[in-house]
Structure 1
Amino acid sequence: MSVLAVAKKDFLDVRRAKSVWVVSGLYMLLVAFLFYFGQNGPTDPNVIYQLSTLTTVGTLFVPIVALMMVYLTIAGERESGSIRYLLSLPNTRRDIVIGKYLSRGAVGTGVILVAFGVGAVMTVLWYPSFEATVFGGIAGLTVLLTLAYVSVAIGISAATGARSQAMTGAIGFYFVSNLLMISPNLSIVAALEYVLNGRLGMGISDHLFEFIRMLSPTIAFRKSLPLVVPNDVTVFPANADPSAPSYLTPEVAFTILVAWLVVPIAFGLWRFNRTDLD
């Protein structure tokens, strides 16, 4: 077998996972819901506004979709012992990690593209303008966000040896990188700033703390939005600040988001290679 053979087998396996279909179906229903009721709201429906709402909600929902469909892909097989069967074939551990990433990433990408396809059809039918450039750009960034969390889940799954550990790691990462990062004033970075600046008086720049917050894939995604959204659009959760230092630009945020597609897999593979499966 090879990377592609592992990916093909895993793709067939993931199609039978009910949890994947449930969370994917909920996301598609969410997209349809937002676009349907959006065209019944204002007298002049605006697809940009619906895309903004979808982006805000998606930062909470998309990581769940990605993590749910991936976190057990290797840890589950290690706990059941079926990983030994895969390794008894002419497969390397690298083949398994990358093959499973390709299959789960393809499923996640498919879910996002189908959901945005549903939104695109509804937009053409009910909205006065399609805004194809913005629509396509946001869909592309959402795919990258999905792949970033797929990468994280693969890395966690490869680095852990039990279902409970993989689940704990996935849930913990979701809380730390998402729920505890989205609100600037209520994030764990804000708590760090309070301790270092408020209590210890270290005088660290606010921009540096914002960069630390941007290391989250979710925040990097939001900070990348100005790359695909016109400057005069003010309804999106993140807008480019011309006065911000160079390390807070949308381009840097996009680079961080892309890095999340690679670094977790590399770490997971490194840990997997050092693990004794006997």
Structure 2
Amino acid sequence: MSLPAVLRKDFEDAVRSYSLLASVLLFALFAALIAALQFFPTLYVDDGSTAPATTLALLNSMRQPAVFFVPLFGLMVAYDTIVGERESGSIRLLLSLPNSRLEAVLGKFLGRTGVVAAAVLAGYAVAGGIALVTYDSFDGAVFTLFTLLTLVYGAVYVAIATGFSAGMRSRLGAFVGAGGLYFLFIIGWDIALLLLQLAIYGQDIPEAGLPDWFNFVGMLNPSTAFMHAARTVIPAYREITFYPEASAAYAQGWVGFPILAAWILLPLAFGYLRFQRFEI
């Protein structure tokens, strides 16, 4: 057994438990609802005419669900992937075969990323199909780019959950650790930035705007990094998102990509190093 075998076994376990099928159906129904929201209720623009249903309108509808629900799904399918096997004792069988602990961690990560990818692709395919048939205009290339970025964003949270699953001694510890980061990124990060801003500048923002280093701290949140990455490869995405322009190279939109990569690699490294120390 090797890395591909661990990956395949983990993905097949998800298929046998029906979690993959349930996830695909749930995402497909949810994406269909998001796509249909362009027509219910009817939206109007300033001159009283009906707002056109376009790719950008669809991405605007999908923006918040992607930020909130894709990471939540990634955490839920992966937080117990290793620690669950440790608690049940089946991890001994996995490691008694010619598998290293690194292969176990990477295989679990890739397998659960495959589950998330299958669900997201199914859901986005439904949304894209509805848009292609019923919208006033639909740009398949733009929608494909957004879909690929969403897969990377989902992989970030699978990596976080897998890292905690490998690095904690109990399911509860893995759930609290991964869930705590989710709430930090989704809710707590903006609160922390606001408190930092108030502590440094009070209620008066400098006329020149906040410094680039402050904007960079905001970008360290993977949700914000995802938005910046989308703005970089999909210029029209700037019309539905707003971030201050930065002059420093480290605060440019493309930096969102290495930040997302770091949030995949660092949790996996943390989990692997902790997993190496555990007695099985």
Q: Secondary structure at the match of 1:90?
A: coil
Q: Secondary structure at the match of 2:98?
A: coil
* TM-score (normalizing by structure 2): 0.87
Q: Which moved more, 1:108-117 or 1:12-21?
A: 12-21
Aligned partners of 1:25 and 1:62: how far apart in 2?
Answer: 14
Aligned position for 2:195: 191
Structure 2 residue identity aligned to 1:57: P
Mapping 1:24-63, distance limit 5 Å: 24-40=24-40, 41-42=42-43, 43=50, 44-63=52-71
Instruction: Check the 8 A contact 1:2/1:95 in 2, yes or no.
Output: yes
Residue of structure 2 aligned with 1:266, choices 265, 269, 278: 269
Change (3 A) 1:84 1:238: farther
Aligned partners of 1:92 and 1:149: how far apart in 2?
Answer: 23
Aligned partners of 1:81 and 1:196: how far apart in 2?
Answer: 51
Aligned partners of 2:141 and 2:148: how far apart in 1?
Answer: 11
Aligned partners of 1:105 and 1:70: how far apart in 2?
Answer: 8
What percentage of residue pairs aligned between the two structures are identical? 35
Q: Secondary structure at the match of 2:99?
A: coil
Change (3 A) 1:104 1:220: same
Mapping 1:174-253, distance limit 5 Å: 174-181=182-189, 184=190, 187-198=191-202, 206-231=211-236, 234=239, 236-238=240-242, 241-253=244-256
Instruction: Check the 8 A contact 1:224/1:253 in 2, yes or no.
Output: yes
Structure 2 residue identity aligned to 1:269: Y
Change (3 A) 1:206 1:27: farther
Q: Which moved more, 1:209-218 or 1:38-47?
A: 38-47
Q: Which moved more, 1:20-29 or 1:170-179?
A: 20-29
Q: How far does residue 178 in structure 1 lie from its aligned partner after superposition?
A: 1.7
Residue of structure 1 aligned with 2:112, choices 104, 112, 137: 104
Q: How far does residue 91 in structure 1 lie from its aligned partner after superposition?
A: 1.3
Structure 1 residue identity aligned to 2:254: E
Q: How far does residue 74 in structure 1 lie from its aligned partner after superposition?
A: 0.3
Aligned partners of 2:236 and 2:15: how far apart in 1?
Answer: 41
Q: Structure 1 stretches of 5 or more lacking a match? A: 200-204
Q: Which moved more, 1:89-98 or 1:13-22?
A: 13-22
Mapping 1:140-151, distance limit 5 Å: 140-151=148-159
Q: Secondary structure at the match of 2:169?
A: coil
Change (3 A) 1:250 1:232: closer
Aligned position for 2:177: 169
Aligned partners of 2:211 and 2:169: how far apart in 1?
Answer: 39
Cα distance per residue 1:93-113 (max 9 Å; x no partner):
111111111111111111111
Instruction: Check the 8 A contact 2:78/2:112 in 1, yes or no.
Output: yes
Q: Structure 2 stretches of 5 or more lacking a match? A: 44-49, 204-209
Cα distance per residue 1:115-157 (max 9 Å; x no partner):
1111111011101211122211111110110011111111111
The aligned length equals 267
**Cα-Cα RMSD:** 2.2
* TM-score (normalizing by structure 1): 0.88
Instruction: Check the 8 A contact 2:14/2:20 in 1, yes or no.
Output: yes
Cα distance per residue 1:64-97 (max 9 Å; x no partner):
1100110000011111111111111111111111
Aligned position for 2:257: 254
